[in-house]
Amino acid sequence: MITLQDKSVLVIGIGASGMAACRLLLKHGACVTAVDSADTAATQAQARELRSQNVTVRIGSNAPIAGEFDQAVISPGVPLDLPLVQDLRQRSVPIIGELELGYQHARCLCVAVTGTNGKTTTTELIERLLTHTQRKTVACGNIGLPLCDVAEQTKDLDILTVEVSSFQLETTQFFRPAVAVLLNITPDHLDRYPTMADYVRAKSRIFENQQAFDWAIVQSEALSQVREAGAKIPSKLITFSARDSEADIYLDRSLIISRIEGWVGPLLDLEQCQLRGPHNAENLMAALAVGRVLRIPLAEMVDALKSYVPAPHRCELVAEINGVKFINDSKATNVDAVRQALLSIPPVELGRPNIWLIAGGKDKGFDYHELGPLVAQRVKGAFLIGETRERIRAAWGLFTTCTTADSLLEAVQQAGAGAVSGDVVLLSPACSSFDMFRNYQHRGEVFGEAVAKLNSGGAKEEMPVALNSVG
C-alpha cells in the first residue's frame, strides 16, 4: 500500500469516480484539491460536499492550477490532452486513475474484465459464480461502483471482481489482475483514440503487469488483434470464441464445449440459460473459464449461470402491445452492439424485415456504413435522433427508409404507428447518450416511459419472464 499521509493530491473530475477518489484520499490523510471543468448544479453540490471536508475545489475551468502536488488522480472520462493534464506532466507530477488508486489500496486478488461489448454482463456472471459458491466478492469498477469506494472492504473478500474500461486502463501503473478477461475489440471511442490500434493497445494494458503464473482469458479474434498491435500477454492463456472452433472453449450449435486438458467436453447448453445469441455465449464462456481457473466445480457453475437474469437496458423487452414488441437496448453505444442486437431478434418470416430501429445520439467517430447490409436485411425503417442523425441517415439511407425525429418520444410514436403484429420496435442507438440524456440508463427509462404512453389506451401488455442481453 502506498502511503498518502500528508501528501498533496490533485483530483481531476468530481463525478462518481472523482468523489470516490477524494473519499479514499481523505481517509488516508492526504491533502486534497479537486477540479472539474463543468459548472453545473450537480458539480456545485459535489463541490459543497467536498469543501465541507476541507477539500479545496475549483469548478468551471480546465486551465492549469497553481501549487505543488505529489500526485494527481484523474477520472476515466477526463481526456488526457487537457491543458491541465499536460501542465502536470510537464511538471513531472505522477498521474494515475481512480481505478489505480483503489487497486493500490486493495488487499485481495482481483479478476478484471474488459472488452468493447459484454463487460457488464460478464462481470455480473463472474460475481454470480463466486457468490453462488460462497466466495466473497464485490463487483466494482466501470460497472458503476468505483473501486476506491470498496478498497477498504477488500480485506474481508476472497477476490475482487472488476469491470475495467479502456479509459481506466490508460492510467494504470501497478494494476495487475490475477485473472484478466478480454472479451472482444470492435470499433468504439474513436473520438478519443486516433486509430483502432491505439484502442487495442489501451485494452491490452490489462495484461501489462501480469506474471507467468497469472491467467489471461481472451476471445480468439481479440487475441489476434492484440498480437497485431504488438502487445504481449505474459500469463497463462485460455481462448474462447463463438466463431472459432479451434479455441479452447467454443460453440457448437447451442453447446459450449471445452477442449482444455482435464476439462474436455460439453460445459453448458445455451438453450437452458436466459441469455441468448453468440455474443452472450462468449460472455458465458469467459465466466466458465474464470470458474475453471478458480477451481469452482462445473456443476455449481452451471447452476449459477442458468439462473442469471440479465440487467436492464440490454435487449430488454419492456412491453408487447398488439403483437408488437418494444425492446430497450440503450446500452448499445457502438455499431457492433447494434449488430448483435439485430442478429439476436428472430425474423417472423425468412427474408422479411420486421425491426423498426431507433438509433442516434452523441457522435463517437464511428463508420455507420458498415452496418448497412444488415440494416437492409433486418430493418423496415429507422428513426434517427440526436446529433448523429444526419450522419446515420447518410450511411443507411440506401438500405432502409430513414426518418429523423426531434426526441425519443417522437421516434417511439412514429415507430409504433407503423408497426404491425410480429414487428419489433428496437432502441439500439449505436451512440452514447450524452447529447440528450444523463446516461444510457436515463435514455432507456425515457424509452420505457414513451412505450407506456403508447399503451395508455388500455391495449393488452405482456411482460417477459426472461430477458435477452447484449451486455
Regarding beta strands 160-163 and 401-404, do their DSSP bridges make them parallel or antiparallel, or are they unpaired? unpaired
Q: Please state the pTM of the whole predicted model.
A: 0.84
Q: Report DSSP state, residue 5.
A: T
Report the C-alpha gap between 138 and 124 in whole angstroms: 10
Containing 236, the helix (H) or strand (E) segment is strand 236-241
pLDDT value of position 1:
63
Pair 98, 148: CB distance under 8 Å: yes
Ordered by start, the domain boundaries in the chain are 8-93, 107-306, 316-455
Report the C-alpha gap between 162 and 143 in whole angstroms: 8
pLDDT value of position 456:
78
pLDDT value of position 347:
85
Pair 431, 333: CB distance under 8 Å: yes
pLDDT value of position 58:
96
Instruction: Using CB atoms within 10 Å of the CB of residue 8, give its burial: 0 to 12 exposed, 13 to 18 middle, 19+ buried.
Output: middle
Report the C-alpha gap between 151 and 107 in whole angstroms: 7
Task: Write out the three cell numbers for 226.
Answer: 492484440
Handedness of CA 139, 144, 145, 147 (dihedral sign): positive
Pair 140, 162: CB distance under 8 Å: yes
CA 195 to chain centre: 20
Task: Write out the three cell numbers for 455.
Answer: 399503451
Q: Which residues of the chain have pLDDT under 70?
A: 1, 457-471
Pair 407, 385: CB distance under 8 Å: yes
Note whether 8-93 and 316-455 share their fold: no
pLDDT value of position 465:
30
Report the C-alpha gap between 409 and 413 in whole angstroms: 6
Handedness of CA 405, 410, 416, 418 (dihedral sign): negative
Fold of 316-455: Protein-Tyrosine Phosphatase; Chain A (3.90.190)
Of the candidates 416, 189, 217, the residue with the CA atom closest to the CA atom of residue 322: 416
Report the C-alpha gap between 171 and 105 in whole angstroms: 16
Report the C-alpha gap between 189 and 298 in whole angstroms: 37
Helix (H, G, I), strand (E, B) or coil at 43: helix
Give the number of other CB atoms < 10 A from CB of residue 273. 21
pLDDT value of position 348:
81
CA dist 127 → 19, 290, 291, 417, 452 (Å): 25, 11, 10, 41, 33
Report the C-alpha gap between 337 and 331 in whole angstroms: 8
Domain 8-93, second-level architecture = 3-Layer(aba) Sandwich (3.40)
pLDDT by residue (tens digit) across 230-255? 999 999 999 999 999 999 999 999 99
Report the C-alpha gap between 67 and 77 in whole angstroms: 24
Residue in this structure with the C-alpha cell 466501470, named with its chain if needed = 142
Report the C-alpha gap between 119 and 138 in whole angstroms: 15
Containing 440, the helix (H) or strand (E) segment is helix 440-454
Task: Write out the three cell numbers for 29.
Answer: 490523510
pLDDT value of position 458:
39
CA 59 to chain centre: 28
pLDDT value of position 461:
39
Fold of 107-306: UDP-N-acetylmuramoyl-L-alanine:D-glutamate ligase (3.40.1190)
Starting at the edge strand found earlier in the chain, the sheet holding 355-359 runs 316-321, 324-328, 424-427, 355-359, 379-384, 401-404
Report the C-alpha gap between 351 and 319 in whole angstroms: 25
pLDDT value of position 152:
95
Of the candidates 210, 222, 191, the residue with the CA atom closest to the CA atom of residue 119: 222
